[in-house]
Amino acid sequence: MKGADAVQLSVLTSITGMVVLACILELLRRQQLREKYATIWLAIGLVVAPIGFFPQVLNGLARHLGVANGASLVLFAGFILVLLVSLHLSWEASRLEGETRTLSEESALVRAELARQAGQLDELRTELSELRGAADKRAADKRGVRA
């Protein structure tokens, strides 16, 4: 890479890392990102920002790992990261689907029990009303007998 292009890429990489860090901190501040996810994204941002300032470290690491250049290493690492994030999100979605199903079943059972108890309450009210009516009739009959 030529000098001006390398500097331009380094600046772009550094700015991207800083923007990622700022976005993560803002999401945390607004409580829109849970801490367990923020940790990994903060770590990524903290790795990306210095690489932009010191690209020779990335190239040295790539050579040490037997990769042609730093850009290839970044692409491979990015692919692995996306793969791991996709796997984790699939796991979370599966877990939440099971939890949602369980909660739906429990909710249906609670609704059924509530409907059953409401029916029993209506029966008791009807019975109470009939008993009151019968008691009122007996009281009226006793008043009529005494008169």
Per-residue pLDDT of 14-41, as tens digits, reads 788 788 889 888 998 999 988 888 888 8
Q: Give the span between the Cα atoms of 62 and 66, in whole angstroms.
A: 6
Answer yes or no: pTM beyond 0.85. Answer: no
Numbers of helices and strands, H then E, in the chain:
4, 0
At 130, list the tokens.
């009939």
Hunting for tokens 């990102």 — which residue is that?
33
Rg (CA), the chain: 35
pLDDT, one tens digit per residue, over 97-134 is 999 999 999 999 999 999 999 999 999 999 999 999 99
